[in-house]
Structure formats: structure tokens, C-alpha cells
Amino acid sequence: MEHHHHETEIDSNDKIITLLKHWIKHNEEHANSYKSWADRIHGRESEKIKELLYEAASLTIEVNDKFKKAIEIF
């Protein structure tokens, strides 16, 4: 007879909270990297590229805001 272990609701929630915290940190690192690389761009069309990278960084932080709200709900 096989014995299966099923995650409990609490275990799943703890796992999700851990993942959300990890994703927040990871996204912050990415957002900082986008801005850092944007500041290094030179040449033709550099301002448009910088703008796009800064926008991507901003969107990444918006994702983090959603993750933080999810954690608060738990």
C-alpha cells in the first residue's frame, strides 16, 4: 500500500509566501540592473532606449507591489 504525503494548506501558503519574497528580491535586482544598464547607453536613440529600460524597471516594481499585497493578505 502506497502512502502519499499531501501538502497541507498551511504548507502551501508558507511555500507561496517564501516564493513571493524570493521573487520580490529577484525583481528588485533586475530593476536595478535595468536602470544601471540604461545609464551606460550612449549613441543614437540612446534616450529612447534608456526610457524603455527605466519603464521596464518601473513595471517590475509594480509587479513587486502586487506580490507585497498578496503577502499582506496572507
Task: Output the tens digit of pLDDT for each of the chain's 74 residues.
Answer: 454 555 687 799 999 999 999 999 999 999 999 999 999 999 999 999 999 999 999 999 999 999 999 999 99
In a domain, residue 66? The reply is yes
In a domain, residue 7? The reply is no
Helices 9-38 & 46-73, crossing angle to 10 degrees? 160
The whole domain housing 34 covers 20-73
In a domain, residue 53? The reply is yes
Q: How many domains in the chain?
A: 1
In a domain, residue 64? The reply is yes
In a domain, residue 2? The reply is no
Q: Is 57 exposed, middle or buried (0-12, 13-18, 19+ CB in 10 A)?
A: buried
In a domain, residue 4? The reply is no
In a domain, residue 3? The reply is no
Please tell me the distance from the alpha carbon of residue 3 to that of residue 63, in angstroms, as a whole number. Answer: 39
In a domain, residue 10? The reply is no
pTM of the model: 0.82
